[in-house]
């Protein structure tokens, strides 16, 4: 029996006033899963989520905007534009709204993105709009279509049905991973140990556009996932090197990638970011979520204990920004939930 949409709406919007934040997050991602069942359900889910942008939790609203983008439905554009247009919204929420427009990838979003890439006083908003514009333009170009066909052909030639299915279900990236490497030859995949130095060079080259560097970032992520065990730690280390970049948006996305990877080699770097009181709150928030994701996948006992102590510390650190504290609280609650065998797992 499917979860009831009215009950999920009441939970997400905290109608009773006593729904815990982690429960609201689970309601949000259950709604995301239900939206895939039919167009009618998708449109209903969009309307439910849109009601939540009056909430006082920037973390939750940021996640709501993210989900709207992942639904890849143009019905969400109106609500995302309203968020981006609202200067009273937290910059993290506005940033995520712009990124979500890029995920939906409709040229209809280009006018508002072009407005804020030029005029917004917040550099993270301008940078996000830059990424979204380039993604939409690439996705709707012959070059973008050719890249997608190339990846599909690689999957077909090598019978990699599992990898193809995983890619189809994966989150929509703010920039597609690099698919061509100079002198790659006839390799079935570019995501190999030998190409890590090339991806790292592009990642760290500040003379290139942010979009190109993001593409290298996701190529390194793919290398961790697809390049074999010997490629994992070198690719993780290359991503860690990117944390010295001057762009908070760039650093935040690297932390997000580590949350996707759940690789224990990222724990020292993510712990260091979370503990850094001078770091931008959006970066620390993603570091907290990445640490939680590593533990959800099961870490070493000593590592797990240290990470849990760090998350508990900052969950209760009143000097830390609210979005950082809430990220730690949600990470801890999700770890407990996902390690409780009596719980059903959410639909995603």
Distance CA 163, CA 160 (A): 5
Cα within 13 Å of Cα(299), Cβ side: 24
Give 292-310 as a DSSP string: HHHHHT---HHHHHHHHHH
Cβ atoms of 80 and 50 closer than 8 Å: no
For 223: left if phi > 0, alpha if psi spans -120 to 50, otherwise beta; the answer is alpha
Q: Nearest CA to 154 among 195, 105, 198, 191?
A: 191
Distance CA 320, CA 244 (A): 21
Cβ atoms of 108 and 139 closer than 8 Å: no
Q: Nearest CA to 135 among 110, 118, 117?
A: 110
Cβ atoms of 30 and 347 closer than 8 Å: yes
For 141: left if phi > 0, alpha if psi spans -120 to 50, otherwise beta; the answer is beta
Tokens 């019978």 belong to which residue? 159
What residue ranges in the chain does DSSP mark as E strands?
none
Here the tokens at position 162 are 């599992």
User: Burial of 226 by CB count in 10 Å (0-12 exposed, 13-18 middle, 19+ buried)?
Assistant: middle
**Residue stretches of the annotated binding site for Fe cation:** 62-63, 95-96, 252-253, 285-286
User: Burial of 337 by CB count in 10 Å (0-12 exposed, 13-18 middle, 19+ buried)?
Assistant: middle
**Stated length of the chain:** 348
Provide the 10 A C-beta neighbour count for residue 271: 20
C-alpha distances out from residue 34 to 31, 39, 44, 330, 343, Å: 5, 10, 10, 22, 19
């Amino acid at each position: 029996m499917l979860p009831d949409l009215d009950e999920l709406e009441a939970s997400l919007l905290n109608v009773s006033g006593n729904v815990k934040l982690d429960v609201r997050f689970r309601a949000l991602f259950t709604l995301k899963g239900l939206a895939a069942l039919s167009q009618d359900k998708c449109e209903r889910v969009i309307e439910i989520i849109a009601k939540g942008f009056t909430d006082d939790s920037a973390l939750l609203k940021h996640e709501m905007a993210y989900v709207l983008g992942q639904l890849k439905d143009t019905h969400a554009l109106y609500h995302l534009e309203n968020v981006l247009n609202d200067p009273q919204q937290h910059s993290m929420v506005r940033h995520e709204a712009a990124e979500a427009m890029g995920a939906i990838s409709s040229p209809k979003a280009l006018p508002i993105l072009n407005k804020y890439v030029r005029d917004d006083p917040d550099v993270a908003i301008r940078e996000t709009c830059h990424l979204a514009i380039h993604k939409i333009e690439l996705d709707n170009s012959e070059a973008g279509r050719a890249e997608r066909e190339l990846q599909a052909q690689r999957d077909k030639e090598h019978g990699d049905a599992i990898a193809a299915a995983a890619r189809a279900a994966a989150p929509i990236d703010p920039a597609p991973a690099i698919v061509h490497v100079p002198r790659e030859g006839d390799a079935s995949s570019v995501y190999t140990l030998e190409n890590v130095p090339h991806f790292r060079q592009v990642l760290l080259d500040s003379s290139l556009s942010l979009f190109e560097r993001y593409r290298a970032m996701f190529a390194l992520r793919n290398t961790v996932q697809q390049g074999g065990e010997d490629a994992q730690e070198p690719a993780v280390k290359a991503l860690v090197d990117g944390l010295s970049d001057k762009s908070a948006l760039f650093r935040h996305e690297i932390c997000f990638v580590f949350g996707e990877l759940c690789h224990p080699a990222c724990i020292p770097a993510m712990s260091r970011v979370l503990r850094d009181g001078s770091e931008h709150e959006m970066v620390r928030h993603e570091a907290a979520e990445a640490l939680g994701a590593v533990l959800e996948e099961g870490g070493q006992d000593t590592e797990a204990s240290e990470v849990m102590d760090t998350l508990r510390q900052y969950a209760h650190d009143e000097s830390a920004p609210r979005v950082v504290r809430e990220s730690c609280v949600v990470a801890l609650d999700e770890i407990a939930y996902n390690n409780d065998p009596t719980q059903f797992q959410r639909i995603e």
